[in-house]
């Protein structure tokens, strides 16, 4: 298969970026999207050019590092799929493919397709945990039975890989789905109850400080989320947030 690639190139955080056009040929349909970019980079290095910088690590859809906006969609055309799990059989021979970085004020570009997502770490640092020290003296794990439906729903929120596709895809660059996934996971579990109020307040405040936009419930994040995290978690977070605010005023 042959493709024309239009890729965002930007030398550094302060540099002016532009779209550059490249050709790749003899691409097998078995290749992953990132392996196709490897082929392009090999070509660029051999011809004395600088390769396209892009984030990637596990290449099995779980680390959340890969982050490409492909033909106007976060992680490309397939649902429930990260960029690294996208394969070239999902494209037509001869197609032109446009590749951009995640675009959001809270995700500044570092180079080419690589962006800085440390804002998401800082949100977690503002309360996305249960405050329990390591000491080996907590109660026996089975002393705390958790109804299976609650455990399962918490798990569905906990699978968030923190890739930022929800932010990249939202017209407001909102991080609500990401934040809600963590808030909801811990709100569903008994371990999360003591800090439930402080957690949602702390994380939402940090989210606003980082410059993420507001949620207008378009649901685009849910569609593009490679882990299929549901908008229901945003509803749960909003309810918790409102409760927290009302309680604090009282």
Partner 1 sequence: MLDSKIPDGPLADKWTKHKDNVRLVNPANKRLIDVIVVGTGLAGSSAAASLAEMGYSVKAFCFQDSPRRAHSIAAQGGINAAKNYQNDGDSTYRLFYDTIKGGDYRSREANVHRLAEVSASIIDQCVMQGVPFARDYGGMLDNRSFGGVQVSRTFYAKGQTGQQLLLGAYSALSRQIGQGKVEMFNRHEMMDVVVVDGKARGIIARNLITGEIERHSAHAVVLCTGGYGNTFFLSTNAMGSNVSAAWKAHRRGSYFANPCYTQIHPTCIPVSDDAQSKLTLMSESLRNDGRIWVPKHSKDVEAIRNGSLKPVDLAEEDRDYYLERRYPAFGNLVPRDVASRAAKERCDAGMGVNKAGQAVFLDFDSAITRYGSTEANVRGIENPTAEEVRALGVAAVEAKYGNLFQMYQQITADNPYETPMKIYPAVHYTMGGLWVDYNLMTTVPGLYAAGEANFSDHGANRLGASALMQGLADGYFVLPYVIGDYLADDIRTGAISTDSSEFDEAEKSVTARIDALLNCGGKTPVDDFHKKLGQIMWNKCGMSRNAIGLREAITEIQALRERFYKEVCVPGRADQFNQELDKAGRVADFLELGELMCKDALERNESCGGHFREEYQSEDGEAARDDKGYTHVSNWEYTGVPSEAALHKEELVFDNVELKTRSYK
The alpha helices in the chain, defined as continuous H runs, are 33-46, 118-125, 148-158, 165-169, 176-187, 196-209, 220-224, 232-249
What's the rounded Cα separation, in Å, for the pair 201 and 156?
A: 22
Task: Tell the smallest beta-carbon distance from residue 167 to partner 1 (Å).
Answer: 14
Task: Tell the smallest beta-carbon distance from residue 239 to partner 1 (Å).
Answer: 19
What's the rounded Cα separation, in Å, for the pair 82 and 28?
A: 19
Asked if 1 interacts with partner 1 (CB under 8 A), we say: no
* Sign of the dihedral defined by the CA atoms of residues 177, 13, 58, 122, in that order: negative
* Of 19, 129, 217, 239, the one binding partner 1 by CB under 8 A: 129
Q: Which residues of 148-180 are buried (b: 16+ CB within 10 A; e: fewer)?
A: eeeeebbebbbebbbbbbbbbbbeebbbbbbbb
Query: Which is nearer to partner 1, 110 or 223 (by Cβ)?
Result: 110
* Of 14, 25, 94, 145, the one binding partner 1 by CB under 8 A: 145
* Of 185, 229, 231, 244, the one binding partner 1 by CB under 8 A: 185
Task: Tell the smallest beta-carbon distance from residue 4 to partner 1 (Å).
Answer: 19
Asked if 134 interacts with partner 1 (CB under 8 A), we say: yes
- List the x/- string, 89-128, binding to partner 1 by CB under 8 A: x--------------------xx--x-xxx-xx--xxxxx
What's the rounded Cα separation, in Å, for the pair 110 and 10?
A: 8
DSSP 171-204: TT---HHHHHHHHHHHHSSGGGSTTHHHHHHHHH
For partner 1, the binding residues in 18-47 under the rule CB under 8 A are: 28, 30-32, 34-36, 38-39, 41-42, 45-46
For partner 1, the binding residues in 188-227 under the rule CB under 8 A are: 189, 191-192
Query: Which is nearer to partner 1, 122 or 245 (by Cβ)?
Result: 122
- List the x/- string, 49-88, binding to partner 1 by CB under 8 A: xxx-x-xxxxxxxxxxx------------x-xx---x-x-
* Of 96, 138, 216, 243, the one binding partner 1 by CB under 8 A: 138
With beta carbons less than 8 A apart as the criterion, state whether 169 and 220 touch: yes
Task: Tell the smallest beta-carbon distance from residue 218 to partner 1 (Å).
Answer: 26
Task: Tell the smallest beta-carbon distance from residue 180 to partner 1 (Å).
Answer: 15
Under 8 Å CB-to-CB from 210, ≥6 apart: which residues? Answer: 106, 119, 122, 123, 175
Task: Tell the smallest beta-carbon distance from residue 238 to partner 1 (Å).
Answer: 21
């Amino acid at each position: 298969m042959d493709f024309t690639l239009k890729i965002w190139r930007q030398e550094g955080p302060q540099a002016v970026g532009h779209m550059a056009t490249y050709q790749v040929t003899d691409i097998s349909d078995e290749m992953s999207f990132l392996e196709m970019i490897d082929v392009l980079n090999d070509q660029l290095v051999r011809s004395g050019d600088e390769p396209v910088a892009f984030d990637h690590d596990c290449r099995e859809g779980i680390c959340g590092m890969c982050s490409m906006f492909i033909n106007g969609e976060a992680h490309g055309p397939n649902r429930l799929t990260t960029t690294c799990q996208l394969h070239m059989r999902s494209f037509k021979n001869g197609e032109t493919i446009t590749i951009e970085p995640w675009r959001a004020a809270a995700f500044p570009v570092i180079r080419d397709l690589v962006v800085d997502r440390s804002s998401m770490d800082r949100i977690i640092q503002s309360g996305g945990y249960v405050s329990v020290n390591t000491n080996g003296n907590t109660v026996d794990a089975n002393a705390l039975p958790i109804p299976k439906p609650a455990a399962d729903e918490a798990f569905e929120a906990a699978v968030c890989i923190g890739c930022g596709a929800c932010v990249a895809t939202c017209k407001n660059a909102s991080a609500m789905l990401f934040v809600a996934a963590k808030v909801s996971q811990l709100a569903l579990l008994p371990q999360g109850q003591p800090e439930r109020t402080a957690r949602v307040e702390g994380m939402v405040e940090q989210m606003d400080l980082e410059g993420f936009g507001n949620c207008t419930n378009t649901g685009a994040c849910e569609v593009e989320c490679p882990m299929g995290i549901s908008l229901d978690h945003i509803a749960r977070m909003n309810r918790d947030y409102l409760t927290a605010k009302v309680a604090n005023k009282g």
